[in-house]
Amino acid sequence: MKPYKRAVPNPFLRYPIPSLGVLLAIVAAALLFGRIEVDSEMRALLEGDQRNLDSYEKVNRILGDDIAVIVSIDCPEVFSPDNIAVLRQVTAELKQLKGYTGISAVTDAFRPFRAGFGIRWDPLIPTEGNVDYAKLKEWAIAHPLVRNIMIAPDGRHTIVMANFNRPFETTLQIRKFRSEVDAALAPLNAAKLPFHLLAFPFIEQEILDTLRVDMKQFIPLAFLLAVSVLAVTFRYSKRLVIWVLANQVAGLLLLPGLLQITGLSVSVFTVILLPLLAAVHLALLSHAGTAFQRALKTGVAGTEGIGQMLRESFKPCVYSAVTTAVGLASFASSDMAQLRDFGLLGALGVLMLLVLTFGPGISLLQLMFKSHDGSKLQSSETATNIGWSVRWTDILVRNTRWIWMGMLGCVLLASVGVGRIRTDIRAVEFLSPKSPSRLAFEEMDRVYGGINVVQIQFDSGKSNGVISPEFLKYMARIERHASEKTGVTGVFSYGQLLAALNEVWEGYRPGTLQLPENPILIATLSYLVRASEESLPFIRTLCDESFRVAHLTVRTRDMPADEYLNFVRELEQFANQGKPPQVTVSAQEGIHSILEADRRILRSLQRSSMVTFGVVGVVLLLLWRSPLLVLLALAANAVPIGLVVALQGFAGVPLNSITIMVGSIAFGVVMDDTIHFITHWREERLAGKTAIAAARAALEAKGRAMVCTSLVLIAIVGVFLLSSFPPVVHFGLLSVMGYTATLGAALILLPAVLGSWIEPRTRNDSH
């Protein structure tokens, strides 16, 4: 091997104690002034699920600063004296809570009645006199403006929604409010009536509590697995294990300071970055540690041993850290704020850990091994340890053709699987199947007719055009068509409101819940609508202020995005058939919002992939100055990662704001082993060895470190499989598969191809 040049004097070797003193001061400052705050705000949870995000933002616009607490109650029979009494008790308790601003429930609802040429509002369920509960139930479960809004069609589920003006600044305030709500709902428990509770602050608190439980499992298990791998890798030197762990602890303690400096926060779905950075740091330390251990085995200790380690591992470690940072930073161009923050914070974290490893970390290594005698490790270097790399490389070189055929098969399989990836994002899938909030959402979808709402806009072409008989009849035809579609549970329009008022005007006579035929009566009812706008806060969801534009609101059960889009497009197409000449129909806002969610995910994937491939390729070209070696390195990692992404498509794992990160992150991280292997092989070739001899030497020198770093990565991301959040579980599963596949490619493809590398001057094999 060509002798290495003498290392440039390292200030961390020359002044180790001051260097460590500065590090300790920085760590103390990070602990004192830094903080790690997890952002569990609902918008972060819903980002990507455009349908539910739109609904969430509409609710926020209606409520303003208020918080809605929704209680879905399961009664044997809602309209019974006993259960109505319990509901009255519950609503009375909720009204006593601090910040109460309003309530919606069958016990507090009002029903309109005709009063001459006006309308009066009487309680839906009178508090005095005889009440015909059977008749009330029949009316409520049939009325389109009550069914699935206050009461389910089965007559046994009802919703109580209480609004509160309670700003929350701390989790303790949310916990206190939750305990108050639980106390108010005590009558339900006493009556043994099951219920589901749903409120955005409670969802956020649930996520934080679940994260804390997960982290209590993650940290000790990941630490145990990492220590086990390190103990095997550095089994001949306990000091190296201690050195690695000391650096790891310092890196983790510095992360709060990094957050403080950048001003970024960790969201509930980017919290996986913390253990991921720990794994990347362990990979750097493992490569540096194994290089130093080899120096000790050759009898070189102290400063000279550290110098040999730096000459061998510093340059490839820098380039591998850069490729990892590039893989993370590629998300900085994403349309999703959470991915941008994740990418920026991850890239800065990797660079910080690189400086730590080869800065103060070197000072600590010198102090720990200043008087260490490396001769004790020389006996561990046996012919058996050297021989495995020779035998393995020879086997691979003889079967290079089969290896290439296997890679081609992986490419074909990946090309099929990638096309099956599902981009239909569901925020509810981010929660555990046992999550109380998820169970509440699923009950809302199952019992009350779904949580998906889309609006189609109809422009009548003139002011007050919405109330013209021709337009109303046209809209009624669209309503009937929509209501007949599978999965549709509610259709709401201005015409439907007029039909409800017509029933009131006719004294609730059977068959009067329909649009009136008389234009004068239509005008009269529309006048009553204008006069009652303050009592009808939802009117703006049915038409605009000038009564020119009407909105058809369709409620459906949860369905895949492609089915949902086909339904909306078909409904728009039907609406354009036989419409009045001056009317224009548009469902583009609803369609665009759904498509844009998918496009944002796909754009983020495309951008991150292109940036990662392009920048990593340039970095490696600067390192090796060989386009062929760069192509080999990219293929050795891209094909296994592509195969894993394809398996994601075959398994039906959705592409969301977490799983989208697997490919680029894994590609940037696992490139580490490839860089070290090819760099060492290239150095051996420059020293005069043949291709196969250089491959044997590179495998013998780097094989253990490659296995160690991959096992560390697999162990740490593997603990994500224990998470309560399905996307985090999916991230862990896909990452484990990715790191395993790329390790296999590094140990099989690289020795095979590089061992059979043909150049005019190296055709003859020699040892």
pLDDT confidence of residue 554: 86
Average pLDDT over residues 451-463: 85
pLDDT confidence of residue 600: 65
Q: Look at residue 184 and tell me whether its pLDDT is greater than 90.
A: yes
- Lowest-confidence pick of 329-343, 508-522, 615-629: 329-343
Q: How confident is the model at residue 92 (pLDDT cuts 50, 70, 90)?
A: very high
Where does 278-422 show beta strands of DSSP type E?
none
- 567, 592, 617 - which closes a domain: 592
Q: Domain check: are 71 and 188 in the same one? A: yes
pLDDT confidence of residue 268: 62
Backbone angles phi, psi at 150, to 5 degrees: -105, -30
3-state secondary structure of 116: coil
Q: Domain check: are 263 and 297 in the same one? A: yes
Q: How many domains does the chain have?
A: 4
Q: Look at residue 176 and tell me whether its pLDDT is greater than 80.
A: yes
CA-CA distances (angstroms) from residue 667 to 325, 410, 468? Answer: 11, 16, 62
Q: How confident is the model at residue 9 (pLDDT cuts 50, 70, 90)?
A: low
Q: Higher pLDDT residue, 172 or 94?
A: 94
pLDDT confidence of residue 62: 47
Nearest to 178 by CA among 159, 157, 150, 206: 206
Q: Look at residue 374 and tell me whether its pLDDT is greater than 70.
A: no
- 165, 183, 204 - which closes a domain: 204
Could you tell me if residue 374 is inside a domain?
no
Residues with Cβ within 8 Å of residue 440, at least 6 apart in sequence: 70, 72, 196, 197, 198
| pLDDT tens digits, 534-572 | 666 667 778 888 889 998 888 888 777 677 778 888 888
Q: Domain check: are 641 and 553 in the same one? A: no
Q: How many other C-beta atoms lie within 10 A of the C-beta of residue 181? A: 19
| pLDDT tens digits, 394-449 | 888 888 888 888 888 888 887 887 777 766 566 666 777 888 888 888 888 888 88
Average pLDDT over residues 175-185: 93
Average pLDDT over residues 513-532: 83
| Residue 231 DSSP one-character state | H
> What's the CA gap between 741 and 758, in Å, rounded?
26
Could you tell me if residue 620 is inside a domain?
no
- 544, 566, 592 - which closes a domain: 592
| pLDDT tens digits, 650-664 | 777 777 667 777 766
pLDDT confidence of residue 7: 45
Q: Domain check: are 515 and 467 in the same one? A: yes
Q: Domain check: are 536 and 459 in the same one? A: yes
Could you tell me if residue 598 is inside a domain?
no
Where does 30-86 show beta strands of DSSP type E?
38-39, 67-74
Q: Higher pLDDT residue, 49 or 641?
A: 641
Q: Domain check: are 686 and 650 in the same one? A: yes
| pLDDT tens digits, 636-647 | 888 887 887 787
The helix-helix angle for 661-686 and 273-297 (nearest 10°) equals 20
Could you tell me if residue 411 is inside a domain?
yes
Q: Domain check: are 539 and 630 in the same one? A: no
Could you tell me if residue 648 is inside a domain?
yes
Percent of the chain scoring above 70 in pLDDT: 83
Q: Domain check: are 557 and 467 in the same one? A: yes
pLDDT confidence of residue 1: 40
pLDDT confidence of residue 598: 60
Could you tell me if residue 116 is inside a domain?
yes
- Maximum Cα–Cα distance across the chain: 109
Q: Domain check: are 657 and 715 in the same one? A: yes
Q: Domain check: are 551 and 669 in the same one? A: no
478-505: buried (b, 16+ CB within 10 Å) or exposed (e) per residue?
bbebbeeeebbbbbbbbbbbbbbbbbbb
Average pLDDT over residues 684-694: 90
Q: Are 549 and 466 in contact (CB under 8 A)?
A: yes
Where does 169-328 show beta strands of DSSP type E?
195-198, 266-267
Q: Please report, for the domain that includes residue 28, its CATH number.
A: 1.20.1640.10
Highest-confidence segment of 111-125, 589-603, 692-706: 692-706
> What's the CA gap between 700 and 381, in Å, rounded?
11
| pLDDT tens digits, 571-613 | 888 998 888 888 998 876 555 555 555 666 666 667 777 777 8
Q: Domain check: are 29 and 62 in the same one? A: no
Q: How confident is the model at residue 178 (pLDDT cuts 50, 70, 90)?
A: very high
> What's the CA gap between 330 and 321, in Å, rounded?
14
Average pLDDT over residues 243-260: 85
Mean pLDDT of the chain: 80
Could you tell me if residue 226 is inside a domain?
no
Residues with Cβ within 8 Å of residue 184, at least 6 apart in sequence: 90, 93, 94, 96, 97
Q: Domain check: are 455 and 518 in the same one? A: yes
| Domain that residue 408 falls in | 392-421+626-759
Could you tell me if residue 291 is inside a domain?
yes
pLDDT confidence of residue 313: 87
- Lowest-confidence pick of 50-59, 136-145, 378-387: 378-387
Q: Higher pLDDT residue, 367 or 375?
A: 367
pLDDT confidence of residue 87: 94
